[in-house]
Structures are given as structure tokens and as C-alpha cells.
């Protein structure tokens, strides 16, 4: 067992870290304040090959292993939680759906520009009454000749208002439960009836627009169906399993940022004629914060390793996401505590890390759902 990074993984880490330190961190507070989609940073990431990291070069990807992708996303999230979500939803969800379930023509036409970052991807699964309970969705896609007519709506869709390619889930057989759900490629600029109702005003995760979408008799060609009818539920589950590894990476990136800032502040802030970092109470907080981050990394890379080996990783991905998301919030909370009153103000980034961290426990599988998943696998 080798815990050392390969030369390529170290190169990726160093490259993304430099980009984050020079381009992202100086903009992070502005992105958080304005909540505007950072199109210029996303375009630059596309040029650097960061929008299609785990996919083959033949489809415009960077051809990196999943460890490298997780490392890259961790670094991006260290700079901006919102930017981390933009990349995760674009790559792990939309990109992975196209790569795993698209035919060759669909990969060439839709996956390549997604990987190159010239198109932005989104994954439209959740609805107001169908979050964790996916089969409760009400959006329908009825076959009409060589087209499907889609009606319904989606909620909580990351990148939804800026996406060029949306992976949509809808019921092609409303009476068949989860076996009646299918997945499609939607092109908002081409498909009449695609409506962005608005975007959410969120606690954190700023810069990544979370949209409410509506479909009014939206017609899409039948060649936009991914796989066969009725396979959408399975597509979604498989995709979310892989996506949980990258939400663990986002969680770790935010926790690292909170830890780094806390260590720096503890060394500079003086009370009672000495840096507060000299006090045992602060040392113990920092020690616990770092230990949690390191443990989360091990869980994340264990799940990534199993995925790369093409072995079952459902339980391990759930554990990685569950633990990393919860320690991300805990570490960010301690970061605020170490900053004291300043940590509760926007003069420091500590409060932003806390707001960004909380989302990790909710999307792509709530902590409650993940505990059910882990418990089910333990009893198999």
C-alpha cells in the first residue's frame, strides 16, 4: 500500500493549487458577496483541462485517474466552495452520465464540449416532492413520433440557469415506479419550452447558481435518450455513487481552508502577551481539526481506489461523503471559534467556510440517507 502521490498526481495538485492561490482565492470573497457565476474562471479552468479531468482525451478530457480528479476538486474547493460545486455538478454528474450511458455519437457531440469547458453541464433530478424519494418525481416525457414531449419541473439544480447541456430525468412510464424513469440530454438554447423560473438565495455555495426549472411541452428528439427507456433510475444511482467521492473532496477542501486560516490566525493573534496558538486549548482544537481532515482524505481515496479498480464502492463512497461532510462543518465551526468575535464577521473567511460546508451534508445524499445506505450494506 503506497500513500505517496505519483509524479502526475503531484503535478496536478501543484498546478491546481497555484491556480487557486493566484486566481480563485483573491476572488472568493467577491464571488460570495455578489453570488455571480464566475464565467471567466470557469473558462480558464476549461483551458487548463479542469472541467473534464477524469475522462479520456478522445472526448476532450484530461485522461486523469480518479485520485487526481479528487485532488484537483479538493484544491478548487479550498479556494471557493461554489466553484467546487460548479465543477462537481458539471463533471461528476452531467459529464459522467454522458460518458457512462451515452452512445458514441452522443459522447462526441455532447461530452466533448462539456469536457473542454466550452459547454456547462447540469444534472436535473430533484423535484419539490422528490428529493431523496426519486421515484416520486412527476416530470413526464411522452413519446410523440420521433420526439419526446416533456412537462414538469425540477428544483435545486446546480448550474441549471447557465447550463448548455442538462441531463434530465423524467417518467416515460408513470405507472412503472422507478422502472419507468428515463434520462435525456436537453439543450436549453435549442429546446423550446425550457424555462428557468429563477435561482435560489442560499446560505452559502455562492457563485454556483441553483435553479428552478420548468418544462412546458418541451420537445426533444428521440436520439437524446440516454440508453433505453426505463434505465434512468439506475443511471442516477450509479452516477450519484461516484459523485459522492467528489463531494467528499469538496468537503475536505473547505475544511483545509478553515484549518489553514485558523493555524495562521492562532499564530498571529496575541492574548495575555502570547500567541493564542501557544495555549493548550487552541493547540488541541487545531490537532483535532487536522486529524479529522486527514482521516477524511483516507476514506475519500479508498473509495476512489475501488472505483478505479472497477470494484463495488457504494458503501465506501457513502462513508467518505458522510464523514467528510460532517467533519467539514465541524472543522469550519472550530475555525470560527478560534477566530473569536472576528470569526462571526465577514472581515475573515471563517464564516464563509461554515456556510459553504453545511451544504455537503444535504446534497447528493443527505447524511440520513447515507447512514441508511451504509447500514444496508453492513447487513447484506
Q: Which residues are catalytic?
A: 364
Sign of the CA dihedral running 55, 57, 61, 62: positive
Q: What does each C-alpha distance from 45 to 83, 232, 293, 352 come to in angstroms?
A: 10, 30, 26, 23
Q: What is residue 165's three-state secondary structure?
A: strand
Q: What is residue 188's three-state secondary structure?
A: coil
- Burial of 125-136, coded b for 16+ CB within 10 Å and e otherwise, reads bbbeebbeebee
Q: Other CB atoms closer than 10 Å to residue 158's CB: what's the count?
A: 28
* Beta carbons within 8 Å of 129's beta carbon, 6+ residues apart: 136, 137, 138
- Rounded Cα distance between 54 and 64, Å, is 5
SS3 readout for 192-239: CCEEEEEECCCCCCCCCCEEEEEEEEEEEEHHHEECCCCCHHHHHHHH
Determine the Cα angle at 185 with ends 233 and 370, to 5°. 35
For 184, the grid coordinates are 435525456
Amino acid at each position: 500500500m503506497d500513500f505517496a502521490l505519483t509524479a502526475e498526481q503531484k503535478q496536478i495538485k501543484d498546478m491546481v493549487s497555484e491556480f487557486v492561490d493566484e486566481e480563485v482565492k483573491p476572488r472568493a470573497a467577491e464571488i460570495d458577496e455578489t453570488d455571480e457565476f464566475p464565467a471567466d474562471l470557469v473558462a480558464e479552468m476549461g483551458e487548463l483541462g479542469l472541467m473534464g479531468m477524469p475522462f479520456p482525451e478522445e472526448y476532450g478530457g484530461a485522461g486523469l485517474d480518479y485520485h487526481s480528479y479528487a485532488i484537483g476538486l479538493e484544491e478548487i474547493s479550498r479556494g471557493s466552495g461554489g466553484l467546487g460545486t460548479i465543477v462537481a455538478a458539471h463533471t461528476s454528474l452531467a459529464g459522467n452520465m454522458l460518458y457512462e450511458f451515452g452512445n458514441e455519437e452522443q459522447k462526441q457531440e455532447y461530452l466533448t464540449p462539456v469536457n473542454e469547458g466550452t459547454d456547462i453541464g447540469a444534472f436535473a433530478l430533484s423535484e419539490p416532492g422528490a428529493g431523496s424519494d426519486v421515484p416520486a418525481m412527476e416530470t413526464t416525457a411522452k413519446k410523440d413520433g420521433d420526439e419526446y414531449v416533456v412537462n414538469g419541473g425540477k428544483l435545486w439544480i446546480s448550474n441549471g440557469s447557465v447550463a448548455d447541456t442538462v441531463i434530465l430525468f423524467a417518467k416515460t412510464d408513470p405507472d412503472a415506479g422507478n422502472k419507468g424513469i428515463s434520462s435525456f440530454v436537453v439543450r436549453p438554447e435549442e429546446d423550446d419550452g425550457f424555462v428557468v423560473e429563477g435561482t435560489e438565495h442560499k446560505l452559502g455555495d455562492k457563485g454556483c447558481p441553483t435553479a428552478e426549472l420548468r418544462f412546458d411541452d418541451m420537445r426533444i428528439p428521440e436520439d437524446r435518450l440516454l440508453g433505453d427507456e426505463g434505465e434512468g433510475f439506475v443511471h442516477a444511482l450509479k452516477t450519484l455513487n461516484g459523485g459522492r467521492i467528489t463531494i467528499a473532496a469538496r468537503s475536505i477542501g473547505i475544511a483545509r481552508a478553515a484549518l489553514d486560516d485558523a493555524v495562521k490566525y492562532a499564530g498571529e493573534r496575541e492574548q495575555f502577551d502570547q500567541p493564542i496558538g501557544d495555549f493548550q486549548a487552541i493547540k488541541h482544537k487545531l490537532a483535532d481539526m487536522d486529524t479529522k481532515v486527514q482521516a477524511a482524505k483516507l476514506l475519500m481515496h479508498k473509495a476512489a481506489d475501488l472505483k478505479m479498480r472497477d470494484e463495488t464502492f457504494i458503501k465506501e463512497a457513502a462513508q467518505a461523503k458522510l464523514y467528510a461532510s460532517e467533519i467539514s462543518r465541524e472543522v469550519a465551526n472550530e475555525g470560527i471559534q478560534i477566530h473569536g468575535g472576528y470569526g462571526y464577521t465577514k472581515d475573515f473567511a471563517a464564516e464563509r467556510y461554515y456556510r459553504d460546508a453545511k451544504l455537503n451534508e444535504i446534497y447528493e445524499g443527505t447524511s440520513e440517507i447515507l447512514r441508511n445506505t451504509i447500514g444496508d450494506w453492513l447487513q447484506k
